[in-house]
Structure 1
Amino acid sequence: MTDGTIAGLLDEAARQRPNAPFLLGEDGADWTVADVARLSTAGAHWLAEVGVRPGMTVAWQLPAHPPAAVLMLALARAGVTQAPVLHLLRRREVAAAVEVGGADLLIVDETTRAEAPDGIPVLELPADFLAELAHRPNSESPFPAPTAHDPHWIYFTSGSTGLPKGVRHTDSTLLVAAAGYVAHLGLGDHPDDVGTLAFPIAHIGGIIYLTSMLIGGFPAVLVPKVDAATIADVLARRRVTISGSSPAFYQILLAAQLASGRDDPLIPTLRMLIGGGAPCPPELHEKIRKHLRVPVLHAYGMTEAPLTCVSKATDTDEQQIHSCGLPIPGARVRIAHSGEIELCGTNVTPGYVDAVQWAQTTTPDGWFRTGDCGYLRPDGRIVITGRIKDLIIRKGENISPDEIENELLAHPLIDDVAVVGLPDEERGELVCAVVKRSPAHRDVTLDEICAFLDRRGLMKQKWPERLVVVDEFPLTGLGKVAKKVLAEKISGGTGCPS
């Protein structure tokens, strides 16, 4: 990295391996590292022509396709602050994000233009954006060189009130996370490695994955929309070796494998699944190892501190299954007396857009309070036990939904489950298990669930008092179960004797 910036990293990679594949489209269209470096520079000229100036804040809302990747890298050359917005957000949510980020301009494409709010200038990418850039003469960027330590990135994360928080990042904090990710996982160690970017590119993981590809020297397939019916075929056709996203994505690949009825893997080149965003229960690890025949190397982080802990490719099976890995170089982790995980380090945000919000989430000595509960094992690896705010308080007792979910995933009639708390006059909250219906077997009953947890030795106070079976879970833009939405939608179910 010549200057410690993302633009510098891209240019250095283009000099060292210009013909190496980099961005791979689902349809077979490919771009080399040199192609992307040249297109992003041409993109910087296009930005200048449409009125973008250094110092502006430019929001954009695009799916995970090659034009979005090129635009992101072009903005990284432009001396502006860019504020990526998840492409699944609706107009009201987009409006809140651009307001919090103080955006001067919103860039969309034909898939997101309907969600553009009033009150902000909107620019739509040309349908042939990359072709237009490819025909431009090769020249230097018209903008001053970017800097590594100024906060030129704003990402959005939900607050306790539901309003987004604007999380600032620098090229340096993002590259620290990417370098640690590559080192722990050994990305690019295999000469034929091919990855996937199968999650919203506007998530903080988007730029970290792109820069990980540059650091590790491997290409990736960009998947704008994950289709459960075809994604395994796409990965097999593209000879993908590294895939992943969130546990919801792991579940999609697992379901495809089971539905195929085949003993041999649907994706024969796959060597590991990687990701984060939500806990990956041991039972899911085990099922993937059994049926997909690959390990899951899960990570722990958040928008404020991406990829703080990452499993290592060299970890034992036990370490990979029962932890979220070790802190990456530059990241520090400690556990408060309350059990809350606190973080600091060179991958941590320099703060929120709202300085008051940041002060409220940091300790007097400057550590970030995550809101997650967990502990550090003797071998230095971290175990996440749940979110403080997700705890179910039943008759004054704190109950962790994650613990119950992990137990229930071992039941032969349960493929996927979410546990939520529902208001109850007598108990304060009651425990409700929401099971996703499976085409492979009949529905489980509440009596069967309670008897199973009894045999597993789980105290009766933690047994679900209500069971609801659904065809699909409501998901966030990152593929997590939207538990608040799920709880609001539940209106029926049956109780078991107390």
Structure 2
Amino acid sequence: MDRSDSPASLDGYVPFPEDRIAAYRDAGHWRDRTFHDVLDERSSEAPGSVAAVGPHRELTYGDLADRTRRLATALRSRGIEAGERVVFHLPNAVEFLEAFFACSRVGAIPVQALPRHREAELRHLFEQFDATAYVTAGDRYEMGVDFVELIDGLETEYPALETLIGVADDPATLPNGWHDFDALCGAEVDEGALDGIDVDPTQPGVMLLSGGTTGMPKGIPRTHNDYVFQWEHMADVAGVEDDWVAFPSVPIGHNASLNCVVGAAVWTGATVAVEPTLKPEALMDLVEREGGTYSLLIPTQLVDVLDHPERDDYDLSTLEVLVSGGQKVPPRVVRDAVEEWEVGFCNIFGMAEGPLVCTRPDDPVDVQAETVGRPIADAAELRIVDLDREEEVPRGSTGELAVRGPGYFTGYFRNDEENAENFDDDGWFYTEDVLARRDDGNYQVFGRIKNTIIRGGENIYAPGVEDVVAEHPAVANVAIVAMPDERLGERPCAFVELAEGATSLTLDELSDFLEEKGLAVFKRPERLEIMPELPRTEVGKLDKKRLEELAATNADENPE
């Protein structure tokens, strides 16, 4: 991509070209609103409406705007300026929202570490992003590790890391040199200092992280303009209302929560209800306690709630719309959720890099169960191309998804190799995901190119097989991965988590079931592994990389 006419930008960030910036502005796709501009608009319209509620505080939109100004003043007084990176390492808490919008006010860029990240990942983030500040939970929230103690002293190894902030009930528990979060939020507002800041909405406002299971996460810069564009359109397609209660069900710094739930809620003026513990019991209690209306749960969470033995003890009648994605949602799970709660269902295909395709709440249940719907905005440019990335494939055929538009990123941060591999000269991003567009305009997902099982020259898209296996009454969760084979190259291996009350499942029983369902012989699993619980990634998705390693280790056992 020719960047000779691109605006001056953050070192390592691949900016939008000037011609595309102008086109998106002229078309009204980009409104040049920063994150805090959106907050301030809601605060002006309805200052007394509840913006956020959590275990330790409830804030109106007026309160949230005020506290973020105070925190922004405190950050600026400590030398944090536009373009600097601040590593967030927080659970789902109101303090996250305060820190997020405060950073927007000074033009700092939050880097979204996840709660399960540990020292290795944090060191990578400090170095990769030249982080100047770190915000984490002190004694107020349990994150599995005392990150204040873990990180204290590391700042000497990273000269740029000058500001450490802890969220603590007892500020005395914070080491010398750390700042108490609440004290910063109580700082006097220096209006002059903030008025002098000009935050450019065409520049990054948040740094998301890739969700890969190998190596260290890649930085995904999202500008204020492209992210707010998606807030608006996600709120529109999901039908979010200003009297709804939206609750993040995956880590709040993950795109699924920050964009599709939090962003859509703030855009509309709805309430964001947060719960640090993301277990089924805690989330069901949150829905009952706060009247939860709208959320995005990954498929394993939906299964855990639907199969929970005490589900009927909770009042979940306030649910209006559920979104699910991150991995392919089994069709039976969609149908069960719609029937159980009478909700509108948004079956979504999304990436932190930008693509958001989803069904609408009023779509027929067959569309919600069997497809991921349409792009959330007409301005999104999508193509399905052959695996050589040379030609578009006919409608109905599978191919790689390529995207470009006002809601997508333009390149990984400081990663020329990945950018060269996955972007072309016209700015198209090749996602490495296999999709097809049906005649009715709805898209279907078939899996990742790299995860496609090639058995004797035949391509097997694991999600389609998983959908059928998941219909077996003994199966609660399933993952199909490639198992190496000397003769055929690869064979499908099924890892299964048994349903409540099921005591066993054999490969022969599963094969007979799949034969009854009419699944082609070459697609059927040739090895079955029963596990008490399938491994998850840091955001709760099934960890297929780990399962591939297990399949490779056990490939020579019990051949059939």
Q: Aligned partner of 1:447: which letter?
A: D
Deviation at 1:303, TM superposition (A): 1.2
**Partner residue of 1:221?**
273
Which among 514, 535, 539 is matched to residue 478 of structure 1?
Answer: 539
Query: Aligned with 2:251: secondary structure?
Result: coil
Cα contact 2:466–2:479 (8 A) shared by 1:
yes
The equivalent residue for 1:12 is: 41
Q: How does 1:167-186 map to 2 (within 5 A)?
A: 167-186=220-239
Letter in 2 for 1:246: I
5 Å-filtered alignment, 1:56-205, equals 56-110=84-138, 111=143, 112-113=147-148, 116=151, 119-120=157-158, 121=161, 123-128=164-169, 131-133=182-184, 135-140=186-191, 142-143=193-194, 144-157=197-210, 162-188=215-241, 192-205=243-256
Q: 2:474 aligns with which of 391, 401, 413?
A: 413
Asked if the contact 2:137–2:166 (Cα under 8 Å) also holds between the matched residues in 1, the reply is yes
C-alpha separation in 2, matches of 1:4 and 1:157: 25
Kindly state the Cα deviation for residue 141 of structure 1 after the two structures are TM-superposed. Answer: 7.0
Question: Which of 432, 449, 472 is the aligned partner of 2:510?
Answer: 449
Asked whether the 8 Å contact 2:51–2:270 carries over to 1, the reply is yes
Q: CA offsets, 1:417-464, max 9 Å, x none? A: 111112233432232111113333332221111001111111111111
Per the TM alignment, residue 212 of structure 1 is displaced from its structure 2 partner at its CA by 1.4
Match of 1:235, SS state, is helix
Aligned CA distance change for structure 1 residues 350 and 291 (closer, same or farther; 3 Å):
same
Q: CA deviation at 1:3?
A: 4.8
Mapping of residues 29-40 of structure 1, within 5 Å: 29-40=57-68
Aligned to 1:310: 358
CA distance in 2, matches of 1:485, 1:351: 27
Identity of aligned residues (%): 28
CA distance 1:92–1:265, change in 2 (3 Å): closer
Considering only aligned residues, what root-mean-square deviation do their CA atoms show, in Å?
A: 2.5
| Distance in 1 separating the partners of 2:118 and 2:213 | 19
Separation (CA, whole Å) in 1 of partners of 2:198 and 2:359: 35
Q: 1:321 aligns to what?
A: 369
CA gap of 1:60–1:261, structure 2 versus 1, over 3 A, is closer
- CA apart distance, 1:374: 0.7
Task: Note closer, same or farther for the CA distance 1:233–1:126 as it changes in structure 2 (3 Å cut).
Answer: closer
Secondary structure of 1:439 counterpart? coil
Match of 2:15 in 1: none
Aligned to 1:54: 82
Q: Would you say the 8 A contact 1:59–1:82 is kept in 2?
A: yes
Mean CA deviation greater in 130-139 or 407-416 = 130-139
Q: Deviations over 1:34-53 (max 9, x none)?
A: 11111111111221233323
Distance 1:291 1:232 in 2: 14
CA shift, 1:372, in A, is 0.4
2:84 counterpart letter in structure 1: M
Contact map agreement 2:330 2:467 (CA 8 A) in 1: yes
- SS state of the match for residue 480, structure 2? strand
2:381 aligns with 332
Distance across 2 between alignment mates of 1:229 and 1:161: 31
Residue number in structure 2 paired with 1:342: 402
Aligned-residue offset at 1:165? 1.9
Counterpart position of 1:279 = 328
Alpha-carbon deviation of 1:131? 4.2
Query: Which residue of structure 2 aligns with residue 433 of structure 1?
Result: 494
The answer for the alignment partner of 2:73 in structure 1 is 45
Deviates more, 1:313-322 or 1:70-79: 313-322
Residue 235 of structure 1 aligns with an amino acid whose one-letter code is V
User: In 2, distance between residues paired with 1:115 and 1:82?
Assistant: 20
CA distance in 2, matches of 1:196, 1:497: 46
CA distance in 2, matches of 1:445, 1:158: 33
1:292 deviates by: 3.6
Structure 1 CA distance, aligned partners of 2:507 and 2:192? Answer: 63
Deviation digits for residues 171-203 of structure 1 (CA, Å, limit 9, x no counterpart): 001011111101111011xx6421101211221
My pick for the range that moved more, 467-476 or 44-53, is 44-53
For 1:260, which of 290, 304, 310 is the aligned residue? 310
Preserved CA contact (<8 Å) 2:410 2:427: no
Structure 1 pair 248–431 and aligned structure 2 pair: CA distance change class (3 A): same
Paired with 1:62 and 1:396, the residues of 2 have a C-alpha distance of 46
Distance 1:4 1:225 in 2: 32
Partner of 1:207: 258
Indicate the SS of the match to 1:286.
helix
Report SS of the residue matched to 2:191: coil
- Structure 2, gaps ≥5 residues long: 1-29, 170-179, 388-398
Asked if the contact 2:213/2:537 (under 8 Å) is kept, the reply is no
Q: Secondary structure at the match of 1:152?
A: strand
150-159 or 18-27, which moves further after superposition? 150-159
How does the TM-score come out when normalised to structure 1? 0.91
Structure 2 letter corresponding to 1:198: S
Q: Are 1:247 and 2:295 an aligned pair?
A: no
Runs of 4+ aligned structure 1 residues displaced above 6 Å come to 493-497
Residue 472 and residue 494 in structure 1: after superposition, are their counterparts in 2 closer, same or farther (change >3 A)? farther
The gaps in structure 1 that reach 5 residues or longer are none
1:311-390 to 2 correspondences below 5 Å: 311-329=359-377, 330-338=379-387, 339-353=399-413, 354-390=415-451
Compared CA separation, residues 174 and 410, structure 1 to 2 (3 A): same
**Distance in 2 of aligned mates of 1:428 and 1:350:** 36
Q: Contact 2:249–2:297 at 8 Å: present in 1 too?
A: yes
Q: Are the equivalent residues in 2 in contact too, given 1:340–1:374 (CA < 8 A)? A: yes
| Partners of 1:100 and 1:165 within 8 A in 2 | no
What is the number of equivalent residue pairs in this alignment? 491
Residue type of the alignment partner of 1:124: I
Instruction: State the 1:105 CA deviation.
Output: 3.0
Q: In the TM superposition, what whole-angstrom CA distance separates every residue of 1:221-254 from its partner, at most 9, and x where no partner exists?
A: 1122212333212211211121232112212221
Classify 1:489/1:140 alpha carbon distance in 2 versus 1 (closer, same or farther; 3 Å). farther
